Amino acid sequence: MSERLQPGDVAPDFTLPDADGNEVSLSAHKGRKVIVYFYPAALTPGCTKQACDFTDNLSLLADAGYDVLGISPDAPEKLGKFREKENLKVTLLADPDEKVLDAYGAFGEKMNYGRTYLGVIRSTIIVDEEGKVEKALYNVRATGHVAKIIKDLDI
């Protein structure tokens, strides 16, 4: 379990496959702000709501200078099914070995119904144009989170 990121930290660079198997790197987005969000599993109700909210607000975020990357431990094939079924426009990345999730502090102990287990901590990291963490939000809710980000960023 890694440390959570703090504003001012350098965002760990990564290269992960997208839903089509193409490699996507954080460093390729240098010069633009990036919203990197981590979610537990494609094709589940909360994660679907969150991905649809990002898709619905993608042009607003892009016009404000933000790119959006969603990362989960799902395989690229499952991400492709998720994208097709829900008509998602957000870039979904696969991190099946959970290395990037861990580097961002988005994987760790969780509690559900009194049971403790390891899993994805729903998190959003906002990275500035220089690759530094602007905001680090952990244990966020799937519903209403995108609206809160837009409000907090004055978009």
Marked catalytic residue, from 26, 36, 47, 94: 47
Tokens of 54: 């990002």
In the residue annotation, 47 being an active-site residue is answered as: yes
* 105 DSSP assignment: T
User: Cβ–Cβ contacts within 10 Å for residue 74, how many?
Assistant: 23
d(CA 14, CA 144): 27
| Distant-in-sequence, close-in-space partners of 34: CB < 8 Å, separation ≥ 6 | 11, 26, 66, 67, 68, 69, 126, 127
Q: Which two tokens stand for residue 142?
A: 């799937």
List, by residue number, the catalytic residues. 47
